[in-house]
């Protein structure tokens, strides 16, 4: 029985006061407590924010400080996420509906996505510090914006493509029945984008954890920025080589991630079931105890009924009337054409100025630096491709083996998901320690780190691909007694090919971006680095060499975009053209 029916019929009929009772109180208690907790932490954070700059340099390695640090980090991620969400809605909306803007907004997004977080660091930090010179707020906002640049782009892409894929007839229904933009947004556009947005939000937040260490503690020229948080705790512990503290930090981080998963993502995914347009083979409906708790709660519907619904009703009707009157007095409210043109000219001028400035800076790049960048790019390229190859080598057989056995997959998948949710950067200090003891350097270490960060995309995609192989095709293989090699060549490899490509595209982009933390690391009071483009970017940030930073970033963005266009896109087209299993 679909959950939606149960939900619909179990709604209390009246608008009355919440009925009491011990059981219901026990049920409501967690919700009330959670609400109070959020309220308190916001207050605490606000007080800390408005305080003066000063105490930030001290990061206590005592485990007792961890809850506070974890809270700060979570709040930072949450605020960055809210920024990302708002940005996503606005940017995606404009790109999807304004054909002229779309033409440059989407390639721009493509490019921004390929720029690693640290490259945003100097400009973000300097502008924020300039905006709020004497308050903690400036540096905090800078850190949040950094996290934002790490998680926003894929969400925006997802929202944009969801808007683009709304069926024409649904759009026409909205038009024919004269829905206001407000109603259209809530009843058509946001629901259509919901599932994609949720999955991309999860990926984005995971990315936020991955780059947290880099975002909470960094050197910019002569200034040393440290913000209280889990990332800076781990970084400080690594710097000090304090194994106990590293482990404490790691355990806390994993705990927080699992808790977020249970408290936020699972309920949201289970709730989002209703936004699935088609239920194809819905053998397993996502469930969440928290969602069940919320749904059986009496407090929440009460709040909904007495505040949310009336408010929504008011807003709906307000915008509907607004829309009615406006559609009769056509277009009187619109921004005049000349204003839009003027805005366009201003934006173009700004871009031209920035480009000119950029080239004047780049022109001073010395031949030695250029050589350095080219070598670094080559090294990182080889490293990334090695990582992809290694990841493919182990994930393809393992993934297919898991995917072909539903029972095994039911056991392995949840474990793998937890393993995948641990940010590789947090494990890095431990890996480095082991490697250094074993006599290896960062050359191998960076490959291990990149592998840790990117292999999961591949594994999950391969499992999904193997699960999707139709039973009859497997039966054909057994009927004609195909050998193992033949089976792989004729069935498994072609069948997982589209999935493999999807995984590789994500992994490749991710690996390039992750090279900035993998190739350059502060450990035990010293800086360990290896040759590579990521190391150049990190080092340029540290030393405040903006020219080098700019050049290296441009090279990286160009490489990533070019590889996407020349390698992944054709492969993707081939995959969806030739190797798709028609249902």
Partner 1 sequence: MSSPIVERLRDAVSQARWNEAVALLQTSAAPQAAEALGELPFEQQQSLFRHLPLDLAAGVVAQFPYYHQYVLLHSLPAGEMRALVDKINPDDRMRFFDELPEEAWQRLMDELSSAVPADTSGRHEPETARVPEPKLPQPGEPIIEAFQIEKSFEQPDGREIQIIAPMDLSVESDSIFALLGPSGSGKSTLLRILSGLTAPSSGSVRVHGQPLASCAPNIGIVFQSFALFPWLTVLENVEVPLVARGLEHPERHHQALEALAMVGLKGFENAYPKELSGGMKQRVGFARALAVNPEVLFMDEPFSALDVLTAENLRGELLELWIKDQIPTKSIFLVTHNIEEAVLLADRIVVLGTHPAKIRADFRVSLPQPRDRKSAEFLIYVDYIYKVMTQPELEPGPFTKLPSVRKPSFQVLPHATAGGMAGLLEFLNDRGGKEDLYHLAEELLMEVDDLFPIVDEAVMVGFADSTQGDVRITPAGKEFAEADIAARKKLFREALLCRVTLIQQIQNALQRKSDRAVPLEFFRDILDEHLSQDDVERQIETVLNWGRYAEIFTYDSETDRLLLIEASGTANSNETVPLH
Query: Where on the chain is the footprint of partner 1 (CB under 8 A)?
Result: 2, 4-5, 8-9, 167, 169-170, 172-173, 175-180, 183, 187-188, 191, 194, 274-279, 313, 316-317, 320-321, 323-324, 327-328, 330
In the complex, the smallest distance separating the C-beta of residue 170 from partner 1, rounded to whole angstroms, is 5
Q: Which is nearer to partner 1, 173 or 355 (CB)?
A: 173
For tokens 């808790």, what's the residue?
259
d(CA 503, CA 462): 8
Nearer to partner 1, 314 or 489 (CB): 314
**Rounded Cα–Cα distance for residues 151 and 139 (Å):** 19
Taking the complex as a whole, how short is the minimal distance between the CB of residue 357 and partner 1, in angstroms?
36
Q: How far is the CB of 323 from partner 1 (least distance, A)?
A: 7
Of 50 and 325, nearer to partner 1 (C-beta) is 325
Q: Which of 380, 368, 425, 373 is nearest to 540 (CA)?
A: 373
Annotate 19-32 with DSSP letters as a single string. Answer: P--HHHHHHHHHHH
Contact 256, 264 (CB under 8 A): no
Q: Which CB atom, from 276 or from 569, has the smaller least distance to partner 1? A: 276
In 3-state terms, what secondary structure has residue 524?
Answer: coil
CB of 285 to partner 1, least distance (A): 12
Instruction: State the nearest-atom distance from the C-beta of 307 to partner 1, in Å.
Output: 15
* Residue number with CB closer to partner 1 (271 or 428): 271
Give the contacts of 37 (CB within 8 A, at least 6 positions apart): none
> Which string of b and e fits 168-178 if b means at least 16 CB within 10 Å?
eeeeeebeeee
Identify which of 213, 200, 205, 206 has the alpha carbon closest to the alpha carbon of residue 118: 213
Contacts of 489 (CB under 8 A, 6+ apart): none
Minimum Å gap between C-beta 508 and partner 1 is 25
Output 274 or 565, the one with its CB closest to partner 1.
274
By beta-carbon proximity to partner 1, the closer residue of 276 and 565 is: 276
How far is the C-alpha of 234 from the C-alpha of 218, rounded, in Å? 13
**424 in Cβ contact with 452 (< 8 Å):** yes
Nearer to partner 1, 178 or 489 (CB): 178
Q: Cα–Cα distances in Å, from 155 out to 91, 109, 161?
A: 10, 11, 10
Q: What is the 3-state secondary structure (H, E, C) of 123-176?
A: HHHHHHHHHCCCEHHHHHHHHHHHHHHHHHHHHHHHHHHHHHCCCHHHHHHHHH
In whole angstroms, how close is the CB of 282 to partner 1 at the nearest point?
10
The minimum distance between CB 313 and partner 1, in angstroms, equals 6
Give the integer Cα–Cα distance in Å for 238 and 428: 9
Helix (H, G, I), strand (E, B) or coil at 333: coil
Cβ 411 to partner 1 shortest distance, Å: 31
- Of 29 and 173, which CB lies nearer to partner 1 in the complex structure? 173
Cβ distance to partner 1 smaller for residue 182 or 375: 182
Task: Find the shortest distance in angstroms from Cβ 316 to partner 1.
Answer: 5
275 vs 375, beta carbon nearer partner 1 = 275
Rg (CA), the chain: 26
Render 261-290 in DSSP notation, one character per residue: IIIIIHHHHHHGGGG-S--SS--S----HH
At residue 523, what are phi and psi to the nearest 5 degrees?
Answer: -145, 130
- How far is 491 from 495, CA to CA, in rounded Å? 6
- CB-CB contact of 551 with 373 (8 Å): yes
Torsion, CA 301, CA 304, CA 305, CA 307, rounded to 10: 150
Give the shortest CB-11-to-partner 1 separation in angstroms: 9
Say which residue the tokens 């999904």 belong to: 464
| DSSP designation for 335 | P
Least distance to partner 1, CB of residue 314, Å: 10
Distances (CA, A) of 29 to 7, 45, 129, 451: 21, 24, 42, 43
| Least distance to partner 1, CB of residue 334, Å | 15
Least distance (Å) between residue 169 CB and partner 1:
4
- Interacting residues of 217 by C-beta distance below 8 A, sequence separation 6+: 59, 225, 226, 227, 231, 232, 235, 236
| Among 545, 514, 561, residue whose Cα is nearest residue 369 | 545
Q: Of the two residues 279 and 479, which places its CB atom closer to partner 1 in the complex? A: 279
CB closer to partner 1, 50 vs 327: 327
375: tokens are 């070598």
Q: Return the number of the residue (177 or 359) whose C-beta is nearest partner 1.
A: 177
Work out how close the CB of 577 gets to partner 1 at its nearest, in angstroms, rounded to a whole number.
Answer: 8
- Which C-beta is closer to partner 1: that of 411 or that of 573? 573
- CA nearest to 435, candidates 337, 564, 530: 530
């Amino acid at each position: 029985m679909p959950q939606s029916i149960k939900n619909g019929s179990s709604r209390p009929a009246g608008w009355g006061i919440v009925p009491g009772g011990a059981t219901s109180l026990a049920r409501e208690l967690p919700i009330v407590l959670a609400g109070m907790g959020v309220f308190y932490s916001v207050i605490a954070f606000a007080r800390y924010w408005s305080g003066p700059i000063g105490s930030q340099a001290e990061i206590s390695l005592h485990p007792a400080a961890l809850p506070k640090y974890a809270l700060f980090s979570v709040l930072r991620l949450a605020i960055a996420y809210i920024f990302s969400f708002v940005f996503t809605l606005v940017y995606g909306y404009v790109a999807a509906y304004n054909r002229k803007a779309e033409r440059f907004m989407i390639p721009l997004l493509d490019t921004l996505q390929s720029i690693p977080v640290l490259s945003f660091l100097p400009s973000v930090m300097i502008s924020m510090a300039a905006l709020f010179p004497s308050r903690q707020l400036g540096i905090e906002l800078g850190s949040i914006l950094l996290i934002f640049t790490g998680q926003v782009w894929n969400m925006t892409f997802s929202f944009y493509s969801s808007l683009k894929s709304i069926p024409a007839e649904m759009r026409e229904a909205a038009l024919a029945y004269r829905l206001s933009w407000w109603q259209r947004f809530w009843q058509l556009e946001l629901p259509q984008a919901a599932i994609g947005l949720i999955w991309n939000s999860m990926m984005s937040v995971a990315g936020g954890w991955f780059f947290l260490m880099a975002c909470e503690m960094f050197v910019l020229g002569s200034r040393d920025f440290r913000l209280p948080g889990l990332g800076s705790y781990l970084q400080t512990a690594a710097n000090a080589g304090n194994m106990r503290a590293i482990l404490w930090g790691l355990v806390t981080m994993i705990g927080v991630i699992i808790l977020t998963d249970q408290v936020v993502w699972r309920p949201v995914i289970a709730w989002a079931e209703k936004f699935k347009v088609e239920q194809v083979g819905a053998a397993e409906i996502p469930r969440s105890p928290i969602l069940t708790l919320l749904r059986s709660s009496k407090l929440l519907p009460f709040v909904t009924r007495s505040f949310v619904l009336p408010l929504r009703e008011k807003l709906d009707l307000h915008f509907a009337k607004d829309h009615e009157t406006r559609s009769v007095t056509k277009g009187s409210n619109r921004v005049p054409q000349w204003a839009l043109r003027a805005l366009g000219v201003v934006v173009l001028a700004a871009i031209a100025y920035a480009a000119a400035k950029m080239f004047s800076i780049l022109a001073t790049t010395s031949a030695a630096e250029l050589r350095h960048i080219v070598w670094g790019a080559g090294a990182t390229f080889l490293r990334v491709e090695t990582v992809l190859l290694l990841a493919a080598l182990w994930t393809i057989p393992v993934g297919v083996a898991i995917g072909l056995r539903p029972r095994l997959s039911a056991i392995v998948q949840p474990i793998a998901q937890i393993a995948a949710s641990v940010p590789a950067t947090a494990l890095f200090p431990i890996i480095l320690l082991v490697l250094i003891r074993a006599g290896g350097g960062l050359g191998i270490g960076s490959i291990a780190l990149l592998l840790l960060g990117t292999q999961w995309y591949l594994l999950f995609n391969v499992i999904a691909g193997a699960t999707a192989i139709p039973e009859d095709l497997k039966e054909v293989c057994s009927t004609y007694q195909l050998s193992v090699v033949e089976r792989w060549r004729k069935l498994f490899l072609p069948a997982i090919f589209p999935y493999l490509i999807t995984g590789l595209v994500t992994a490749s982009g991710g690996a390039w971006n992750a090279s900035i933390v993998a190739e350059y690391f502060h450990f035990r009071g010293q800086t360990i680095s290896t040759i590579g483009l990521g190391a150049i970017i990190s080092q340029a940030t540290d030393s405040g060499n903006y020219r080098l930073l700019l050049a290296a970033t441009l090279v990286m963005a160009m490489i990533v975009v070019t590889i996407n266009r020349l390698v992944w896109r054709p492969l993707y087209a081939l995959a969806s053209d030739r190797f798709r299993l028609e249902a």
